C-alpha cells in the first residue's frame, strides 16, 4: 500500500453536532488518496462514538485528554503515516 498523498488533521472537542458532516465532507472529495486523523481532545460528548462509526481505512481516530486545539493538531501531525521532506531537507 502506498502512502497517502494528502493528510487531513481534524482536532475535535465536543463536536457531536457537526463531526459527522465534517468527516463526510472529507470522504466526499474527488481525491481519494488521503488519510484523515481525527484527534479527540478530551471530548465528553458523542464525538468519539460518531467518528468511530465510519468504516473507512483512511480514517484514524485518536484520543487524548483535553489540552486545546493547537496541542491536539500538533500531536495529530506527529502521527501522520507519511510526511514529505521539507524544502530545506531537499538540498
Average pLDDT over residues 7-32: 96
Helix or strand run (H / E) with residue 46: none
CB 39 within 8 A of CB 10: yes
CB 80 within 8 A of CB 35: yes
Please state the pTM of the whole predicted model: 0.84
How confident is the model over 34-86, as pLDDT tens digits? 999 999 999 999 999 999 999 999 999 999 999 998 898 888 888 887 666 55
Residue 43, C-beta contacts closer than 8 angstroms, at least 6 positions apart: 12, 13, 14, 15, 16, 63
- Closest to 8 measured CA to CA, from 28, 16, 17: 28
Amino acid at each position: 500500500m502506498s502512502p497517502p498523498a494528502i493528510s487531513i488533521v481534524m482536532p475535535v472537542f465536543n463536536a457531536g453536532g457537526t463531526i459527522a458532516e465534517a468527516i463526510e465532507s472529507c470522504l466526499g472529495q474527488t481525491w481519494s488518496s488521503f488519510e484523515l486523523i481525527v484527534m479527540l481532545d478530551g471530548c465528553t460528548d458523542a464525538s468519539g462514538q460518531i467518528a468511530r462509526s465510519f468504516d473507512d481505512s483512511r480514517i484514524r481516530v485518536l484520543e487524548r485528554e483535553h489540552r486545546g486545539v493547537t496541542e491536539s493538531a500538533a500531536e495529530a501531525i506527529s502521527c501522520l503515516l507519511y510526511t514529505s521532506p521539507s524544502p530545506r531537507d531537499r538540498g
